[in-house]
Amino acid sequence: MARAGQDRTPQQAAPSGPADQAASRPANKPAEPEEYPVTYAKEPLRVQIGCSALLFLDLDEPRADVDEKLADLRYDSRCGDEPPRLSLAAGAVGGSQAGSSDIDAAGCMRAIRTAPLGPGAEVEVKKGAALCVLTPAELVLVEIIDVGGTGTAGLRATSWQVPG
């Protein structure tokens, strides 16, 4: 005999798909790597600007030379021996300098949570550096694969869809 308040319906089935898994995950537990579907992988972005110039990058697409209001990253070219810098732009929700380019989506989310870039923080553009950037819809790893003369750099971006 069932006591008052007890439900005699069968147990719910275990979560089967990514949406079910996300719904069953505790709010404080980060998503598992398989819950971050890749949107694009190792997309090249080439930056070519002059001395003391700015270029804005949109990482949701990805695309270089966009309007500042749409940008997720700001590339600031310097003159002389001073290296160019990257910083978060208006479209970014958060970001962090990654320890290496060998990082997955969960590692990027952890870096953003534990070592975020604060307002006005800049990352030196140098070969081998990596940056994790969170936008409202995407999580992006930006790798610096080469640095040329003044204002020239080769970037590569990999994007994961953020679970909602």
Q: What is the pTM of this model?
A: 0.78
Confidence of residue 63 (pLDDT cuts 50, 70, 90): very high
Which phi and psi (to 5°) does residue 46 adopt?
A: -110, 130
Q: What's the pLDDT at 31?
A: 52
Please enumerate in sequence order all residues whose Cβ is within 8 A of that of 50, keeping only pairs 6 or more positions apart, or say none. 77, 150, 151
Counting residues of the chain whose pLDDT is more than 90, the rounded percentage is 65
Nearest alpha carbon to residue 159 among 88, 96, 108:
108
> Which residue is it, tokens 């275990």?
14
Each domain of the chain, given as residue ranges in start order, spans: 36-161
Segment 25-59, tens digit of pLDDT: 445 455 555 689 999 999 999 999 999 999 999 99
> Which residue is it, tokens 């700015």?
54
